[in-house]
Structure 1
Amino acid sequence: MNTLELKIEGMTCGKCVKHVKQALGAVPGVDHVEVDLANGRARVDGDLQVRGELLIAALAKEDYTATIATDVVSEQPIQSGAFHSRQTTKGGGCCCG
């Protein structure tokens, strides 16, 4: 089992945490996800042979930007995705409200 820690931009509330957990949990090989809203991080445990690319792509589909904070698989920074644009589409408030 491997562990990756992701830095995630754009999480603003509990519903964002739920969306992030669901997106990461749906990636093949993921066994466990912990999300820290206050620090904008997620810890992912599992058979992560994809080296983070699928995790970051799953978050990008939800409009979150993610980078690898720690990567015991490849130790290379990876970036993808756009800023969490839903914040502005709902009148500047939370993306979920």
Structure 2
Amino acid sequence: MSKLTIKIEGMSCQHCKMALEKAIGQLEGVNSVEVDLEAGTASIEVANADLQDKIIETIKEAGYTPVQ
């Protein structure tokens, strides 16, 4: 199991937080997601670190900007 932390730009409210947690949490292999609105990050526990590209794509599809 791996933990990824991704910086995300464009989040401004609780709706943003909940939308991202739902979108990322639905991906196969994601065990848990915690979005920190103040820090602008998502901490994601995954079965396999290879999921990072799919997670980043999901963040973009949700309308936010992942910063690497």
What TM-score, normalized to structure 1?
0.65
Provide the rounded CA distance (Å) in 2 between the counterparts of 1:58 and 1:6.
12
> What is the CA deviation profile of residues 58-86 of structure 1, one whole-angstrom value per residue up to 9, with x for unaligned ones?
01111111134xxxxxxxxxxxxxxxxxx
Higher relative contact order (Cα pairs below 8 Å, separated by 6+ residues): 2
What residue is the counterpart of 1:56 in the other structure? 56
Call closer, same or farther: CA 1:47–1:67 in 2, change over 3 Å: farther
The ranges of structure 1 where at least 4 consecutive aligned residues each deviate by more than 3 angstroms after the TM superposition are none
Richer in strand (by share): 2
Q: Which structure has the larger Rg over C-alpha atoms?
A: 1
Provide the rounded CA distance (Å) in 1 between the counterparts of 2:67 and 2:19.
17
Provide the rounded CA distance (Å) in 2 between the counterparts of 1:27 and 1:51.
9
% of aligned pairs identical? 34
In the alignment, structure 2 segments of 5+ residues that lack a partner are none
What TM-score, normalized to structure 2?
0.91
Provide the rounded CA distance (Å) in 1 between the counterparts of 2:50 and 2:67.
14
* Residues matched between the structures, number: 68
Provide the rounded CA distance (Å) in 2 between the counterparts of 1:51 and 1:67.
16
CA contact (8 A) 1:56 1:67 kept: no
Provide the rounded CA distance (Å) in 2 between the counterparts of 1:16 and 1:59.
11
